[in-house]
Structure 1
Amino acid sequence: MYPFLRLANEFREHRNAAPLPITGTHVSHHRCWPWDLDIWRELNNGRTLTLLDLGRLPLARRMGLIDTLRREGWGLTMAGVSVRYRRRVRVFDRIEMKSRLLGWDERFFYIEQGMWVRGTCANHALYRAAVTDETGLLAPVRVAAAMGVAGSPDLPGWVAAWIAAEAERPWPPMDGA
């Protein structure tokens, strides 16, 4: 089940946090609970993606994106993710999550997130996100302008390489035949 109560708690906890600049870093703290575990007694990889929501959504609020989405009647969707899992996250581990927007291109916003346990990065994710209206995807430059932001920061080389690799990936994927 989606952790609605945890998400509500994140919004409550950060309700008075200062607004962030468009590329500011949102830092939040979480706990790995028994219901977050897989059969190997570590944070389930799918649950990791769900917990990353708990950093991205408050980041979006602090940047002013959520207010813009509400004002314009737009939606937000995730359009892809690449995750590196490097260290185990065990039951009751305290997680420090860092979330930030890296920039955007013609179609997507790119968000970097990491989970840190005892000072070591346990996993790292690169998301691409899209803002939508009833006609489909909106150009990020239009969304940024509605937020009062002009121009994307330069995307790091590793992000540009990921974008290029994703462009080579076949869609729709093979059907297994």
Structure 2
Amino acid sequence: MYPFLRLATQVIRARRLPRLPLDGVHVSHHMCLPWDLDPFLELNNGRALTLYDLGRLPLAFRVGLVQALRDNRWGLTMAGACVRYRRRVRLFERIEMRSRALCWDGRFIYLEQSMWRRDGQCAGHILYRAAVTDTAGIVGTDRVLAALGHPGETRPIPDWVTKWIAAEEARPWPPMQD
């Protein structure tokens, strides 16, 4: 089941914090609970993606995106993700999550999130490609940035993100059925 109570707690905390610029970093803290575990008694890879939601959605509140979505009757979807798992997160271990909008192009905002253990090691890192949508499809980031009151200039896209974008463009769709 989706952790709605944990999400509500994170959103309430985030609403009390100052607003962030679009490229600001939202820091949140989470604990690996018994229902987050896999059979090896560590954070389940699927549940890790759900925990990233708990950092990403409060970030959206703090940068004003949620209000812009409401005002314009837009939706938000994740159009892709690339994740790395590097260190185990065990039962009752606390992690710090850092979430930010890394860069954007004409269609997508690329969100970067990482989980950090108390020993200073990065447990995981994810890059999301987020799209704002309306009834006509994807809303251009120029419109989204204007709704956020952002000047609209693009940020340089890091080389590793450019390579991931290229790899995604080369990936067949629909996938092969054989």
TM-score normalised to structure 2 length: 0.97
Residue 128 (structure 1) aligned with residue 122 (structure 2): no
Task: Indicate the percent of aligned positions where both proteins have the same amino acid.
Answer: 62
Q: Aligned partners of 2:153, 2:116: CA distance in 1, in Å?
A: 30
Note the aligned Cα RMSD (angstroms): 0.7
Aligned positions of 1:93-172 closer than 5 A: 93-118=93-118, 119-149=120-150, 150-172=152-174
SS at match of 1:14: helix
Contact residue 14 and residue 59 of structure 2 kept, 8 A: no
TM-score normalised to structure 1 length: 0.97
Counterpart residue type for residue 77 of structure 2: T
* Other-structure match for 1:173: 175
Q: CA deviation at 1:151?
A: 1.5
Contact residue 32 and residue 91 of structure 2 kept, 8 A: yes
Counterpart residue type for residue 4 of structure 2: F
Q: Gaps (5+ residues) in structure 2?
A: none
Q: CA deviation at 1:146?
A: 1.3
Q: Aligned partners of 2:144, 2:87: CA distance in 1, in Å?
A: 36
Runs of 4+ in 1 over 6 A off after TM superposition: none
Q: Aligned partners of 1:107, 1:13: CA distance in 2, in Å?
A: 30
Q: Gaps (5+ residues) in structure 1?
A: none
SS at match of 1:70: helix
